[in-house]
Amino acid sequence: MIVTVSEAAGEREERKKLVIFGLGNFAHLITYYIETTTNWSIACYTVDRAYVTEDSFLGKPVVAYEDVREQFPPSEYQMLVAVGYSRMGTVRKQAFERAVQDGYEMPNYVHPSVWVHAESMGMGNIILEQASISPFSTIGNANLIWNGVQLGHGDKLGNYCTLCMGSVFGGFVTIGDNCFFGLNSTVVNRIDVAPFTMLGAHSYLKRSTEENEAMLSDVSAKRHRTRDSFEMMSHWMQ
C-alpha cells in the first residue's frame, strides 16, 4: 500500500481518543503536536505503576498501566507510545508490544508538513516536521523520525529506531531494529545497518555495520567497540 501525503492528512483528520504511554519530556512534546495539528483527544497518560509519581500530567489523569484497560478499554481508545530513545529503543519496544498484545490499536502520528511516499508503514510511528519519506521505501513499527530527516528511495527501516534531526539516508539502505542515528548523520547508498547500531552526531557511514556497533563522529565514524558495546550504548541512552 502506498501511503501518500493526502492519505496521511486524512488519518490526522480522523477523530481519535488516545491514551498516551509516557510521562517524560517526549510525552510533553507529542502532546503539543497532537493538540496543535490534529483533532485527536487525549484521555489520559499511562506508565507502569512503579513509575507513577503524580495523579495528573498536563491536565489529564495518570493511570497505572495495570489499570488502564479497565478504565480506558482498547475497544474505545487507541494508544500512542511517547517514549524516546532510552536504551536504544528497547523501552519503546516493550511498551509497544505489550499494548498491541493487550488489544490497543497503535496509530501513526505524521506531522502535516511531512512528505510520505512509502510503499508501506507499520503502526505507532512518530514522524515530525519537514521529514521526507521517499518512494519505494518501507517503515516498520514504533520508529521515531525527527524533524528534517531524509529517508531515501527504496530504504527499508525496521522497528524501534530513532532518526534524529537532519539525518540523511541514501537509497536502498536497509536498517535493522533498535538503531540510533544522531543529529545530521549521513548514511550512503546501498548498505546494511545491523540492529542496535548507534551513529553519533555528524557521523558519516559508508559501510555496512555489525550488530551493536557504535560509530562516533569524533573518530570519523570508525568502529568503536567495548567488551559490551550494548551496555556502553545503554549507558549513553538512559
Give the CA angle between residues 151, 160, 189 to the nearest 5°: 30
Q: Quote the pLDDT of residue 184.
A: 96
Q: Quote the pLDDT of residue 24.
A: 95
Q: Quote the pLDDT of residue 216.
A: 80
Q: Quote the pLDDT of residue 41.
A: 97
Q: Quote the pLDDT of residue 215.
A: 86
Q: Cβ neighbours of residue 195 under 8 Å, at least 6 residues apart? A: 158, 176, 177, 178, 179, 211
Residue 45's DSSP bridge partners are 20, 62
φ and ψ at 204, to 5 degrees?
A: -125, 115
Q: Write down the domain spans for the chain.
A: 17-101, 109-215
Residues of the chain with pLDDT under 50: 1-10, 12, 219-222, 224-230, 232-238
Question: Which is nearest to 125 in space by CA: 156, 158, 150, 94?
Answer: 158
pLDDT digits (tens, 9 = 90+) for 139-176: 999 999 999 999 999 999 999 999 999 999 999 999 99
Domain 17-101 classification at class level: alpha beta
Domain 109-215 classification at class level: mainly beta
pLDDT digits (tens, 9 = 90+) for 30-42: 999 999 999 999 9
Q: Quote the pLDDT of residue 231.
A: 52
Element of type H or E holding 8: helix 5-13
Q: Quote the pLDDT of residue 137.
A: 98
